[in-house]
Structure 1
Amino acid sequence: MNQNDGLAHLFDTHRDRLRAVAHRILGSPAEADDAVQEAWLRLARADADSIVNPPGWLTTVVSRICLDMLRSREARREELVGDHRADDLADPHADGDPEQEALLTESVGRALLVVLDRLAPAERVAFVLHDLFAVPFNEIALVLDRSSAAAKQLASRARRKVRGTPTVSAAELFRRQHVIDAFLAASRAGDVDAVLAVLAPDVVRKADRAALPDGRPIEVRGARAVAEEIVVFGRKAWCAEAALVDGTGGIVVAPYGRLSLVLAVTVEDDRITGYELIADPERLRGLDLAVLDETSSAA
């Protein structure tokens, strides 16, 4: 086996993990593929004999490439919210790779991808490497060109943002999440009776204009009217997931991991008494979004 064959075998051995790292850092299958390809090119140009720890070397290289891509994205002020109007979400296969979309969101969670997009590049890299892939801080420091202590601080700061700050007790948040999960399940199933079971009789649905197709009212009142609308929304619920919205339970709609719509949900006595559809990019940017803490289920 010549050196090129040996490098190719080495790279193939670690390709899946490298792609997983890149995918979670970047949130984009296409960009992840680009990052992994660039990592291979750098390995092919490297002195293989000088690489003491190939898995660590490859993780560092692909992470640095991803960091540069995130910084470039930020420098271009790439807009990551409001990319899709609410009426463009019915078809889960409208764009992107649906198989890769499913793999990423199932393994990471749609809400986490949304929150990761709000982190600074260095925070995102530090969090993903440490919390999702258990990379030691001394190795993360090499990626970020910072001290281990600074890398640890970045990951800690990112973790606080990811978890958010609930404004209600863990037990109350769990109860609200249970109602929201039932709401989503009924919406996806198109089950009007199941939707009605979680709505208060006088429920009110509000929305900003960016969240609605032309001709739809900005306010709908009454359980039956709201439920019938929700069944239509159910076609879009494939890309919806419960999340922490301004400290309490809500829903993010994020096709391919990109935030498009937020439902700010009000729950009282185990029923949804109201919710607001928010899609205006400026309003989305102003929301405090975080991942629902799974530990609340133990409350």
Structure 2
Amino acid sequence: MNEHSEPTTGTAEPCADGMDSATEIFLAHRNLLFTVAYEMLGSAADAEDVLQETWLRWMKVDMEQVRDQRAYLVRITTRRSLDRLRTMRRRKEAYVGPWLPEPLLTAPDVAEDVELAESVSMALMLVLETLSPTERAVFVLREVFDLDYDEIAGAVGKSLVAVRQIAHRARRHVDARRPREVVSPGQTRAALESFQRALETRDLQGLLDVLAPEVVLVSDGGGVKQAAPRPISGAGKVARLIVGGLGKAGVTLTGEPTVVNGNPSLVLHVDGEIDGVMAIRVEDGRITGLYYVRNPEKLTRIDSETPLTLR
């Protein structure tokens, strides 16, 4: 049964606990569907809306006509995400300053799942932003969730040959921009601890020691909080901006280590109030990317863990 075909209305059978079978199936796959939507959209709020749309459509489906429930739900979620991704493009064009994904507080064990942690890292999510909506969907479904090409073709409404070509093009594009090496959580934590010490003590040389010469700082204030209007490149410029901006005299700046998007990160507080979330990209033991989310609308998911899964 094709997701775009007119669904047959069926009656879901009740389960022993009073929950109908369709609801039980949806809830069993909910974390997976959220992860698919979030990796395609970079926004938890939009991912939740997609799940609501998926649920409403799923409730109209005749379960007897669905051979693979998981694949069918992923197909609905993908198509709803594609629709929303195209409308989000227009929103992002009007966004004030750089746009960063919405950070999610995740369980510490997510950082130990290398494949999952990389797929939701700020660094890779930003690379995915440079793909077209269809390229992003194909890449995510193939490279992250390991779906077969025929499943992906059904999800994005393209031929098998076209999907293979899109997957090859997207993979080549991402590989040219993603980190060259897989960095362990321990290596990231070590760099983050050095960065935190230098930040809290306003140690300019300490920052220069942990920042790679080519480091790039991207800050997202969304027009609500002050942020650099464009990415800042170079260790000297970034260190001076941090010391003179975040570490300005007269305020107490502290960092709280946490796990955001499956990777060690910091929640920064200014005079005890949350100022934002800092995620980093590490290569060869030094920080090559700093991603600072200050937009309050994007900080609603750092108080409670969001469950993510690839299965």
TM-score > 0.5, shorter chain as reference:
yes
> What are the within-5 Å matches in structure 2 for residues 1-299 of structure 1?
3=13, 5-75=20-90, 78-79=93-94, 82=97, 101-103=104-106, 107=117, 108-164=120-176, 184-189=192-197, 190=199, 192=201, 196-197=205-206, 199=208, 228-229=243-244, 232=247, 235=268, 238-242=277-281, 250-255=288-293
How many Å apart are 1:138 and its aligned residue? Answer: 0.7
Distance 1:44 1:242, change over 3 A: same
C-alpha distance in structure 2 between counterparts of 1:256 and 1:155, whole Å: 34
C-alpha distance in structure 2 between counterparts of 1:29 and 1:227, whole Å: 28
**TM-score normalised by structure 1 residue count:** 0.59
Kept after mapping to 2: 8 A contact 1:123/1:154: yes
Kept after mapping to 2: 8 A contact 1:181/1:242: no
**TM-score normalised by structure 2 residue count:** 0.57
Residues 95-128 of structure 1: CA deviation (Å, up to 9, x unaligned): x7x6xx1239963111111111221100110111
Q: Aligned to 1:103, what secondary structure does the other structure show? A: coil
How many Å apart are 1:183 and its aligned residue? Answer: 6.0
Name the % identity. 29
Residues 53-75 of structure 1: CA deviation (Å, up to 9, x unaligned): 11111111111110111122235
Corresponding letter in the other structure for 1:26 = L
How many Å apart are 1:134 and its aligned residue? Answer: 0.8
C-alpha distance in structure 2 between counterparts of 1:81 and 1:256, whole Å: 12
Aligned-residue RMSD, C-alpha: 4.7
Corresponding letter in the other structure for 2:131 = L
Kept after mapping to 2: 8 A contact 1:111/1:243: no
Kept after mapping to 2: 8 A contact 1:192/1:228: no
C-alpha distance in structure 2 between counterparts of 1:183 and 1:134, whole Å: 31
How many Å apart are 1:83 and its aligned residue? Answer: 5.0
Residues 65-92 of structure 1: CA deviation (Å, up to 9, x unaligned): 10111122235564467257xxxx9xxx
Kept after mapping to 2: 8 A contact 1:129/1:140: yes
How many Å apart are 1:52 and its aligned residue? Answer: 1.0
Q: Which runs of 5+ in 1 are unaligned?
A: 90-95, 214-218, 258-299
Kept after mapping to 2: 8 A contact 1:70/1:121: yes
C-alpha distance in structure 2 between counterparts of 1:114 and 1:67, whole Å: 17
- Number of equivalences: 227
C-alpha distance in structure 2 between counterparts of 1:256 and 1:153, whole Å: 38
Kept after mapping to 1: 8 A contact 2:276/2:294: no
Corresponding letter in the other structure for 1:19 = F
How many Å apart are 1:142 and its aligned residue? Answer: 0.9
How many Å apart are 1:228 and its aligned residue? Answer: 4.5
C-alpha distance in structure 1 between counterparts of 2:235 and 2:145, whole Å: 45
Q: Aligned to 1:17, what secondary structure does the other structure show? A: helix
Q: Aligned to 2:48, what secondary structure does the other structure show? A: helix
Q: Aligned to 2:281, what secondary structure does the other structure show? A: strand
C-alpha distance in structure 2 between counterparts of 1:220 and 1:144, whole Å: 42
